[in-house]
Amino acid sequence: MHHIVFLDRSTLIADLPRPAFPHTWVEHPLTPPEAVGAALAHATIAIANKSPITAQALAQAPHLQLVAVAATGVNNVDLAACRARGVTVTNIRGYAEHTVPEHVFMLLLALRRNLIAWRQSLRAGAWQRAQTFCLFEHAIHDLHGTTLGIVGHGSIGRGVARLAQAFGMRVLLAEHKDASRCRPGYTPFDQVLARADHLSLHCPLTDETRGLIGAREFDLMQPHAVLINCARGGLVDEAALLDALTRGRIAGAAVDVLSTEPPAQGNPLLEQDLPNLLITPHVAWASREAMQTLGEQLIRVLEAFVAGRPINLVEPAR
């Protein structure tokens, strides 16, 4: 019988059917990093959204066979340690292909059409004092006819591209930053930065992508460009982003992710009140519909593993 431990159940608002195999189920709202090993002492299956699965935790989990990540990104898991101990790692795929692109365009439209500034003007009574039927206090720009650069062309990147095309935008798919050759249908990374009116990030956080966008990259971008990051906070050098915004090196940015979450010790981006910076608290993925889809896929992943037909493999056991 499998013993399943969900380390951070409060991170998923969904109705979870119980797996169709003999099991016990224990769930914790959240598990502090230092308590993960003890929580997994008797587990054969661990479910984790963001709880860290470290080598130290794995050493305390001698029965563990599967780490099922309740998300797409697996940067919270020590993959090398799992491989060494013969622990399979899986993730969730495709569940956010609608919700994250919608969030991207919510942020992009809010910036380009100056939604926050208009709200503030109306709260201040500017329309009531107007001499004509409308106000022209804030610039409004269309998305139609502009160019969107996309870094990362998985299911979410493809979803963003579909919406961009529906808006009448040109789409450039960025090749890997240091690629020696460019794949058909892709554009060299630096060219995308130089040509894009808007840049949206949708790649995983790895050793290769950490700090992907920094001072050098902001200097390549157009002054009217907007950066959107709904992927991982570590992709962007936050100090460089703040500098680019305050110097007017780029026109605006919207981020759904920060380098450390929650930002309990603060974050330089949160300490500013910039009219051209929007921040949401890592919720681009979290529509109720998307979370339910994630939860149902998670149970299918567990059932497939126990049936000997694993799916969504990140690290097969060796």
Q: So which residues are the catalytic ones? A: 232, 261, 282
Q: How many residues are listed for the chain in this entry? A: 318
- CA trace torsion 196, 162, 73, 49 (10° rounding): 130
Alpha-helical segments (H) within the chain: 36-39, 55-59, 79-85, 99-112, 115-123, 155-166, 189-195, 215-220, 238-246, 288-306
**Cβ contact 200:150 at 8 Å:** yes
| Backbone φ and ψ of 17, nearest 5° | -70, 150
Write out the H or E segment, with its range, that includes residue 277: strand 277-279
Is residue 6 exposed (0-12), middle (13-18) or buried (19+ Cβ within 10 Å)?
buried
